[in-house]
A and B are shown apart, each in its own frame.
Chain A
């Protein structure tokens, strides 16, 4: 099946719910209005010309430092290349990314037509609230829980939106780009109090290989 056919079918049935579309690497990505997400999902599943029976994956994306590089080499001198690694400053928002910071990405699969579709939704950036798609595809249950746990998205009408991957009583959303790789707390067994205790991480964050962007 041609990817352009899919795009035409989607445009015909979804209309103005589609904000933007991209075809790259033979994959179609649609950007959907957050208010119309559930409505769109029902059409994508039930419309015979689209027939996306399965939701394969749901994940969050944080575009905070998109396109920001940690090491910019300006000149070669007699003493060698500039060595200073500028650690990404989370408070500095990315300039290379024109769209909002947080997105939820859905991957859909149609067994009938054997095609895949990617939906990207930018929820309200203040509340990070989206409609849960659990009534459309029950498979999104744990994927939405994971997106909540890792990024803090809230899915309205999700029956059981608990943390899933992180520890009981964990604070923060670890896959956000402003969450340190080594975390904030570490646990150890304390012999004096005879229990496992939490302490602030002592390991300083460091960059082993700086992030470099080279345009050809």
Chain B
């Protein structure tokens, strides 16, 4: 008689549904998962150690590269930790800009998640729909910072510069004639805020389209309903945060519970699920996009009515105006000191957390009074989620691993750091 043994399967690191570089060692009994052992660290870049060797401001760019689909939210936690230790508060306009871009980032993240997840589960067209709207949000990033992804826009004490009065426009080329170009530039005639208004007016309709395609789709529901169920108690014990926790029915959102910046002045709801399965996680994220859209609209309204400074007027932390630097010796010295040596942060430690699109993203910072962090710990939201993968997939079929994995919204930039 032949011996029946479990089959061990390597999933990734070069698998399109592994969301980057996950190596997953699966032990299968037939097609049923017996053991799932994620091997992470293939994208480990020692961000924490690198940050410890550089002045504070030079590490903001590293934060973008952690979770590379929600760049500005990562920066946000980092600058909040520094601000907490320096004891400075950014101007109110900067706070609104940050909140607006946090929510733009949330939509960016959820759109990529929606596209990638549905692609994993076989809905090719969703990917294209999602990426179409993402492109406009990338343009918002580009308009304020010059970079489509790795913006380095948030600075301790505010944001790098004010919102631009005009949007970059397409130019006619041999592939696109004058008339076609004018059509593409139609929503770019005004300022960035007008462009965002145009987006927020249009976006709820887009979400309706996505929902038409997926929410009642029979195949979609077969792949997600009752897959990877996590009870609320278990979700808390496993360290879940963000949409993962809310889908299990725990109403916990740092934007509401521990409000930072101006979230306490904005009107929005936090969607929660009831079953804690993949389908609920989908519903929660889709609803979050609608809520984010509402927040952006409120921010745009406020920002249009209230001009003002966007970074604090403290030359030890924020650089002087460029024009000023050319004529004023003092400003020139401040500029030189800030960009060469940086600023010293008072001795102590702080933990600052934001409600990142994936969950709680925290920065634990220890300073010994120097111009570099003594220890920087990044609390990545996806890290405990992926750690729970084994528990969530055990007893499921092989195909369900893909559903569960993509419903966790895993990005290796932040897990491996």
Contacts and interface: CB of A to CB of B under 8 A. Distances in A.
Contacts of B241: 56
B85 A66 contact: no
Interface in A45-72: 53-57, 59, 61-62, 66-67, 69
B68 interface: no
Given A25-B348, A53-B236, A211 B384 contact: no
B362 A175 contact: no
Contacts of A140: 239
Interface stretch (B95-103, B113-121, B191-199, B365-373): B365-373
A66 to B, nearest CB: 5
Interface string A10-41: 00000000000000110101000000000000
A57 B379 contact: yes
Interface in A129-174: 137-143, 163-167, 174
A59 B55 CA distance: 22
A107 B364 contact: yes
Contact of B44 (A53, A54, A165, A212): A165
B372 A57 contact: no
A93 to B, nearest CB: 14
Interface stretch (B213-221, B285-293, B302-310, B337-345): B337-345
A111 B236 contact: yes
Interface in B340-357: 340-342, 344, 346-351, 353
A181 interface: yes
Contacts of A209: 54-55, 58, 340-342, 371-372
Contact of B351 (A61, A66, A116, A215): A116
Contact of B379 (A29, A56, A175, A181): A56
Contacts of B379: 56-57, 107
Interface of A is mostly: loop
Nearest to B343: A214
Interface in B297-341: 340-341
Interface in B366-412: 366, 368-372, 374-375, 377, 379, 383-384, 386-387
B362 A56 contact: yes
Contacts, number: 121
B84 interface: yes
B185 interface: no
B370 A212 contact: yes
B250 interface: yes
A93 B416 CA distance: 30
Contacts of A164: 40-41
Contact of B377 (A57, A114, A166): A57
Contacts of A143: 383-384
B10 interface: no
Contacts of B349: 24, 27, 29, 118
Nearest to B236: A53
B239 A54 contact: yes
B48 A175 contact: yes
Nearest to B40: A164
Given A107-B362, A139-B384, A56 B239 contact: yes
Contacts of B166: none
A209 B366 CA distance: 19
Contacts of A67: 347, 368-369
Contacts of B54: 208-209
Given A24-B349, A114-B257, A59 B371 contact: no
Nearest to B85: A25
Interface in A83-122: 96, 105, 107, 111, 114, 116, 118
A67 B374 CA distance: 9
B351 A27 contact: yes
Nearest to B347: A67
Contacts of A29: 349
A213 interface: yes
Contacts of A62: 375
Nearest to B360: A56
B387 A105 contact: no
Contact of A139 (B49, B55, B237): B237
A84 B10 CA distance: 52
A88 to B, nearest CB: 10
A54 B236 contact: yes
27 contacts: A29-B349, A54-B239, A57-B351, A59-B364, A67-B347, A67-B369, A96-B368, A107-B351, A107-B362, A111-B250, A138-B239, A139-B237, A139-B387, A141-B387, A165-B417, A166-B44, A174-B49, A181-B49, A181-B50, A208-B54, A209-B342, A211-B371, A212-B344, A213-B344, A213-B368, A214-B369, A214-B371
Interface of B: 40-41, 44, 46, 48-50, 53-55, 58, 84-85, 236-239, 241, 250, 252, 257-258, 340-342, 344, 346-351, 353, 360, 362, 364, 366, 368-372, 374-375, 377, 379, 383-384, 386-387, 416-417
Given A111-B257, A138-B237, A175-B49, 19 more contacts: A27-B350, A27-B351, A56-B360, A57-B351, A59-B377, A61-B366, A66-B374, A67-B347, A111-B250, A118-B349, A140-B239, A141-B387, A143-B384, A163-B41, A164-B40, A165-B40, A209-B58, A209-B372, A214-B371
